[in-house]
Chains A and B, each alone.
Chain A
Amino acid sequence: MKRRRSLFIHLSHIRLLAQKFALVILFISAFALMLVNKTDTVLIEKTSSAATDIVSPVIDVLVIPAKVVARFYDYFKDLKEIHADNQRLKEENRKLNNLFDRARALEIENKLLADLLNYVTPPEASFVTARVIAEEGDAFSHSIVAYIGGSKVRKGQVALSDKGVVGRVDRMGKMYARIILITDINSKIPVMVEKTRVRGILSGDNTTTPKMIFIPLDAEIAIGDRIVTSGVAGVFPAGLPVGKVVSLDKNEIRIKPFSNLDQLEYIKLVDYGLSGALVDADEGAE
């Protein structure tokens, strides 16, 4: 009896030790994963992309009932505002017609001037429209997962909403792509002030208003200035709308993105045929 009891105590002691050992091993493995991620190897990228492709379809299915509820709510909300919307749209249409006439005149003028200068027009961009299925925005990261349905998408491709730049493709699987938003801490985009052409880098910091850094000391920037991509580094083309200046401090300039990054439903992943610095990085990784 005594022997049996001591054997039981012995076994439970071993089990406790094994559990503690497992805990230590798991802690070490979590740290190891972070270290491997920091070195940004191709291995972790491919594994993560494959895992996203497995997990995302489940979220994609879960989105359906949530969308149905949201659509019902929107339908009844829209009914209330339909008359005011109609008036506003009529006014907007009138203004757009005027702008269209002006744009057509400018287009003809532009073509004439381009012919005069023997200007070679760049190739037209191709794009994929992708549905957003998962969204994340907290103190640790700002990203979305979009369904690309087997379309060819490259790392670094720009993601646009109807209002401007929202981010860039970070990882892609066969059916889903992860897009890092411009507010994410990993996002660094070469931008410029549209009016004064002052260049800088738009750097996300996981807040809703990213910072503009590396600006010349004597730069003239005012609140409300429009910020567009500068095209430096050859990843994004120049002139894509990004946001506007909302705060000017001694130490930092904050930009509010034009796109509502909290409510993205569909995005456009545009291939401008540019790969710039990313080609070198990928080649280096391989």
Chain B
Amino acid sequence: MSEDIDENITSLFQRILPLATSVLLLMISYIPLDFSLFNNIRPAIGIICVYFWVNHRPDLFNLWSVYFLGLLDDIISASPFGSNILALLVLYVLITNTSRFINAKPFIVTWYWFALLSMVTMLARWLVVSVYYSQFLPLTILGFSYLVTAAAYPLVSLLLAYIQNRWIQDEE
């Protein structure tokens, strides 16, 4: 009986872990630091987490998780409500339709693919928000933000891969 309960708790923990780590990392990314460059150009943690988990564990990080993460990002940030959700949904569609091409490929390929998809996602959001405000948003800052996001991917994915290998087991 107690073994069943333990098993259920472990299974629940494993199921919520991808979303929980993404939420935690997203919140950490908003912490103010005494480092002016970082405060202006932060990596888009939401994009990194969605790309990693939808690619590696689509069973544990589904469409609703993507929506929730986007909603949370919208709540924390002051950008138009719904724009983060929209961007992450675009990324979700892109990943689910292309993940078969990068399955079991070396890390460098996954990284290049991330660089491409995150660029499309960020440009899609830039376009939507520009239409929302009826004026083009600064592309330079977006460009730097994109580069920082692409550069941060190996580090964040290393952390997420560690979490996956350490705490999430494959279903038999």
Contact = CB atoms under 8 A, between A and B. Distances in A.
Contacts of B27: 55, 58-59, 62
Interface string B55-76: 0000000010001001010111
B32 A144 contact: yes
Nearest to A19: B63
B34 A38 contact: no
B39 A33 contact: no
A185 B31 CA distance: 22
Contacts of A265: 32
Interface string A130-161: 00111111111111110000000000000000
Contacts, number: 144
A145 B137 contact: no
A31 B82 contact: yes
Contact of B30 (A48, A74, A134): A134
B76 A134 contact: yes
Interface stretch (B2-10, B110-118, B125-133, B156-164): B125-133
A139 B78 contact: no
Interface in B77-96: 77-83, 85-86, 89, 92-93
B76 A59 contact: yes
Contact of B86 (A19, A22, A27, A264): A27
B72 A184 contact: no
B141 A207 contact: yes
B interface SS class: helix
A186 B40 CA distance: 17
B38 to A, nearest CB: 8
Contacts of B39: 135, 137, 262-263
A23 to B, nearest CB: 6
Given A58-B27, A135-B39, A185-B137, A263 B34 contact: yes
Interface in B4-33: 24, 27-28, 30-33
B137 A140 contact: yes
Contacts of A180: 78
B136 to A, nearest CB: 9
A140 B129 contact: yes
* Residue of A38, A63, A262 most packed against chain B (CB within 10 A): A262
Interface residues of B, number: 46
Contacts of A260: 36
B72 A55 contact: yes
B40 A141 contact: no
A206 interface: yes
A139 B31 contact: no
B99 interface: no
A132 B138 contact: no
Nearest to A132: B32
Contacts of B92: 23
23 contacts: A26-B63, A29-B82, A30-B85, A33-B85, A34-B80, A34-B82, A37-B81, A48-B81, A55-B76, A59-B27, A59-B30, A62-B31, A70-B33, A135-B39, A138-B142, A139-B145, A140-B77, A140-B125, A140-B129, A143-B78, A207-B140, A263-B34, A263-B36
Interface of B: 24, 27-28, 30-34, 36, 39-42, 63, 67, 70, 72, 74-83, 85-86, 89, 92-93, 125-126, 128-129, 132-133, 135, 137-142, 145
Given A31-B82, A32-B82, A135-B32, 20 more contacts: A23-B63, A23-B92, A26-B89, A34-B82, A34-B83, A36-B81, A38-B80, A38-B132, A51-B75, A55-B76, A134-B30, A136-B30, A138-B42, A140-B129, A144-B32, A185-B133, A185-B135, A186-B78, A207-B138, A207-B141
